[in-house]
Structure 1
Amino acid sequence: MTSKLLLTFAICRLIVTVGLTVDPSEPLLGVDDQLSVDQFDVETASLDFGLLTRAEPMAVLHPGSAEDIARLVRAAYISSPGFTVSARGHGHSINGQAQTSNGVVIEMSGGSKGRRLGLRKLDKPQVSIKEKHVDVWGGELWIDVLRRTLEHGLAPKSWTDYLYLSVGGTLSNGGISGQAFNHGPQISNVYELDVVTGKGELWTCSEEENSELFHAVLGGLGQFGIITRARIALEPAPQRVRWIRVLYSNFSTFTRDQEDLISLHGNPYSQKFDYVEGFVIVDEGLINNWRSSFFSPRNPVKISSIGANGGVLYCLEITKNYDEATADTIDQEVEALMKRLNFIPSSVFTTDLPYIDFLDRVHKAELKLRAKGLWEVPHPWLNLFVPKSRMADVDRGVFKGILGNNKTSGPILIYPMNKSKWDQRSSVVTPDEDVFYLVALLRSALDNGEETQSLEYLTNQNHKVLRFCDDAGIKVKQYLPHYTTQEEWRDHFGDKWDQFSRRKMEFDPRHILATGQRIFNPPFPPPTRTVSPW
């Protein structure tokens, strides 16, 4: 059977399955072999990084252009009763946000199947040196954007800690890392977008053109359109990074220093660190992992020997960018900044490395975990935005309480951001304080016989954390949010809910897009959710 006959069979199966009726003068797809019902494709699209849910789509689309995506969505929009469409980047979602069981998943990053089919290659990131921006396909991975822009001595301003994520995926959520206190999230560093709406219309939008769609899509969880192109702001890229970690035993001292460092961004004449993050060490064994990420320790460090308060330590992670031409002044600049801090004097660990190596540091850890079979496991992550005024309560109730001194299987991040760097016209919601923290429990569920590292135990801990915040009146906002009822979503968006739902009716009135988020019910049965057996 020829490839064209196979494609025809696949389309016929889709039409019969969903009762699709379209204008016969407009084909569903314009390029052979893009719509796949291959078992490998379908299986890949039915899972994600979280490995917590499974939803098998009817077909997978490997687009060759934005027009291919628009044709598919338009067919879904005009069909009766219809089918859903979910865009999938690198598949790094946690709770099935990019899945659908009654429609088509669009593989935005291409994937191995797309390469095997020999689809025409999408344009590489196009860098404008004069205007200092880069135009990229929505499915492009940030690591490839970085490599391309570095060829011109430029780089995006704001990052995520992990670069093997798609541009469209992070812009649909926010995109945060240790630069967000200064440059804001990735969604605050976008000049222009091309978007396919839920009506199958392809629009260009920006601050000046179709601004309602522009702000809706940024942080919009894929509810209003599929990002096919993004124009990202660039800045001159540094050559090297001074990477420093220091320890604290006192939580208030730790957060006071973090907040002091991010306050320096408002003064253009003051020196400041370029990256400010931190993490919590609740496990005795993690202190040496913290140290060995720089170099192998010869003398193991004990939490008890440092005098940790409540058996918990806090690590401040900071960097200073520099070039070879300014290498002779980096020591003095860092020393001056370090004098502002009140860390444990004996806990300073420092290394220097190329800029790209620092930004891509998590990928090196990924390779090690893959080699041990510890990467493709369930990831019951929980990410919270917490008001600055309630962080001490979170320390007592969560870090020293719920988490205790259990063995953990992943980092617990904690760092502050400035609300002024977030555009409130976007769809993202943040706490109502000028400074708020990310608290990220990035644990992996391991089948190693340890109860405290099992999926059930970690999931229950997450529920306990959320209940604690609710009972204590701590008005947290989930980042990468996951809820199961519209009432919960209404509460999440708060004052933004009316605007969010109005934008949905304007740009995706049939509720075709991103049904895996479970915010709006489609006019046909929703996807089935099951717990993964892995």
Structure 2
Amino acid sequence: MELSPSHCRRQQHNIGFLKLFVVSVLSCVTLHVSDPDVPSSLKTLSLEGHFSFHDTSDAAKDFGNRFRFLSSAVLHPKSVADISAAVKHVFRMGLSSKLTVAARGHGHSLQGQAQAPGGIVIQMESLREPETRVHVGDSPYLDASGGELWIDVLLESLKHGLAPKSWTDYLHLTVGGTLSNAGISGQVFRHGPQISNVHQLQVVTGEGEIVNCSAEENADLFYGVLGGLGQFGIITSARIALEPAPKMVKWIRVLYSDFTSFTEDQEMLISAEKTFDYIEGFVMINRTGLLNNWRSSFNPQDPVQASQFNSDGRILFCLEMTKNFNPDESDVMNQEVGTLLSKLRYIPSTLFRSEVSYLEFLDRVHVSEVKLRSQGLWEVPHPWLNLFIPRTRIHDFAKEVFGKILPDSSNGPILLYPLNKSKWDNRTSAVIPDEEVFYLVAFLSSAPPSSDHASLELALKQNDKILDFCEKAGIQVKQYLPHYTTKEEWKAHFGASWEIFARRKAIYDPLAILTPGQRIFQKAVLSS
């Protein structure tokens, strides 16, 4: 469906309705908001799926487990038409209604971004169209529903010996959810984020229109939605680029005690023509001298030396790499791996290796999830902080944060690895630093109930200290999965892209109906 010319004509008329949605909430708050007219008006809609009105508590939960905003209704769509009808209904209610709409995937948001206080939450996993289908050929691709999990996308594409090029570390997320952010993992240096590997989208705009978009058709909406934090449309389907899938993975971990060697080796690897297929690093701060469980299920190259290694309370840096291969290519693969390892400056006694299937490697985090769930440690607060740091300031950042602010890393992993700006399309809404090489630094903390409320407060204070340091030191940091509460902060986040972002909001969601949980724009409502 083509966008109507009235979209552009409405731009200036509706820009005045766009106001800041400022929300100040305490940790672990449940907010009850209701509209008495909601159930009766929604019951009149003709749907293939259905609404639920009485039990909305599950839709008010997310992985962050800190914010809970109860909606008035939850839509379980069976078709894209269901989603269109619901959004169009809210749009036609106009400024007389407070209703907003949020698309919820697998509930992996961190600060209530996929919640709609008093509004409608759309359970995207209920969407059953389009059916996931692989198209083989010279440029293979896969069409998938926006509510499909990436693990199911992988399983379907592997049936044809194919797989998507770029991943997230955790596959039990929805296609629409990650494409609304960026979708990053250790393959980004080679293929770019997931939003750089999409051919086409189907989107339901803030007026309820169903629009097909790509680089050639409705390109402004296409690039806006990619990394657009759900502000311009709900992704109902995506056409994803595929490549031949390997059967096996050589999985390697090594340790460094010198941060300069660690970062220089990573930067060398991501710039080399012949290199590994996946490169990530993580930081281990444990001043007691005890090692984290970083090498479980890995075999040491030298068991004697490995058994004698002691961290001596040092901050250690782990480099994690993989090389894809098929069984008949193992000799060549091992030779290539040996050549690459010979160029690195890791601690020799800390070389650990393993060989697993491609599926097993990509779905590795789910194994940890199962263990944590069994221990009651999965559905706990996760005060995560994900940052993009310019390469020129990564040493200043590490010296202060790892050397002073953080006492240890026992509450969760700390990821640190470089990315290439050239692999990101600057036409999308995603925001990254203005340097060719920049680092993802992700503080993936958890606050188990056994450690009481103080652990959550401590993690939040540490996050604030990190951000305060960056501001005072003039480090032009960008948040990934950003969370701000003031218009000034959002403007600073988007920088020169803010005007484009606000223009797109005015065109594609003029009443600010979509994704209120991001707290960027507030729906304007006429007073009675």
Structure 1 counterpart of 2:52: 36
**Alpha-carbon distance in structure 2 between the residues aligned to 1:371 and 1:449:** 17
1:109 and 1:174 map into 2 onto residues whose CA distance is: 19
Distance 2:460 2:437 in 1: 28
Per the TM alignment, residue 299 of structure 1 is displaced from its structure 2 partner at its CA by 9.0
Cα drift, residue 515 of structure 1:
0.3
The letter of the residue matching 1:127 is V
Identity of aligned pairs, percent? 54
- CA drift of 1:339 comes to 1.2
Cα pair distance change 1:371/1:104, threshold 3 Å = same
Q: C-alpha offsets along residues 212-244 of structure 1, whole Å, 9 cap, x if unaligned? A: 000000000000000000000000000000000
Query: Is 2:35–2:72's contact at 8 Å kept on the other side of the alignment?
Result: no
| Alignment of structure 1 residues 138-287 onto 2, 5 Å | 138-264=146-272, 267=273, 271-283=274-286, 284=288, 287=291
Aligned partner of residue 336 in structure 2, secondary structure: helix
- CA deviations on 1:79-99 (whole Å, 9 max, x unpaired) are 042310000000000000000
Aligned-pair CA distance for 1:286: 6.8
For residue 355 of structure 2, the aligned residue among 349, 352, 370 is 352
CA distance in 2 between counterparts of 1:323 and 1:43 reads 47
**Contact 1:136-1:231 at 8 Å conserved across structures:** yes
Bigger mean CA offset, 288-297 vs 476-485: 288-297
Unaligned runs of 5+ in 1: 1-13, 111-119, 526-534
State how far apart, in whole Å, the 2-side matches of 1:123 and 1:299 are: 55
Aligned to 2:386: 383
Aligned to 1:481: 482
Which residue in 1 is equivalent to 2:121?
Answer: 105
Q: What is the aligned partner in structure 1 of residue 105 from structure 2?
A: 89
RMSD: 2.4
Instruction: Choose which of 310, 321, 330 in structure 2 pairs with 1:305.
Output: 310
CA contact (8 A) 2:39 2:73 kept: no
Q: Counterpart in 1 of 2:131?
A: 124
Asked if the contact 1:249/1:312 (under 8 Å) is kept, the reply is: yes
CA distance in structure 2 between the partners assigned to 1:430 and 1:132 by the alignment: 29
In structure 2, do the counterparts of structure 1 residues 328 and 400 end up closer, same or farther at CA, with 3 Å as the change threshold? Answer: same
Structure 1 residue aligned with 2:80: 66
2:37 match: 17
Shift in alpha-carbon separation, 1:106–1:473, aligned structure 2, 3 A: same
After superposition, the C-alpha distances for 1:319-365 in whole angstroms (9 at most, x for unaligned) are 00001121121110100111111100010000000000000000000
Change (3 A) 1:518 1:450: closer
Equivalent position of 2:464 in the other structure: 463
Letter in 1 for 2:498: W
1:529 corresponding residue in structure 2: none
CA distance in 1, matches of 2:243, 2:164: 6
Query: Can you list the C-alpha shifts for 1:359-391, whole angstroms capped at 9, x where unaligned?
Result: 000000000111111101000000000000100
CA distance in structure 2 between the aligned counterparts of 1:509 and 1:29, rounded to whole angstroms: 25
Deviates more, 1:323-332 or 1:380-389: 323-332
Aligned partners of 2:290, 2:72: CA distance in 1, in Å? 44
SS in 2 for 1:228: strand
Corresponding residue pairs, total: 489
1:52 equivalent to 2:52? Answer: no
Contact (CA 8 Å) 2:252, 2:354: kept in 1 or not?
Answer: yes
TM-score (norm 1): 0.87
Structure ranking higher on relative contact order (CA contacts 8 Å, 6+ apart): 2
210-219 or 334-343: bigger deviation = 334-343
Q: Answer whether contact 1:217 1:224 (CA < 8 A) is retained.
A: yes
Q: Distance in 2 between matches of 1:243 and 1:255?
A: 19
Distance 1:165 1:121 in 2: 16
After TM superposition, the runs of 4+ consecutive aligned structure 1 residues lying more than 4 A away are 18-22, 295-304
Matched, 1:447 2:444: no
List per-residue Cα deviations over 1:89-145 (Å, max 9, x = no partner).
0000000000011210000012xxxxxxxxx94443110011400000000000000
1:480 CA displacement:
0.2
Whole-Å separation in 2 of the counterparts to 1:439 and 1:303: 30
2:17 is aligned to none
Paired with 1:376 and 1:129, the residues of 2 have a C-alpha distance of 39
Q: Is the 8 A contact 2:305 2:349 kept in 1?
A: no
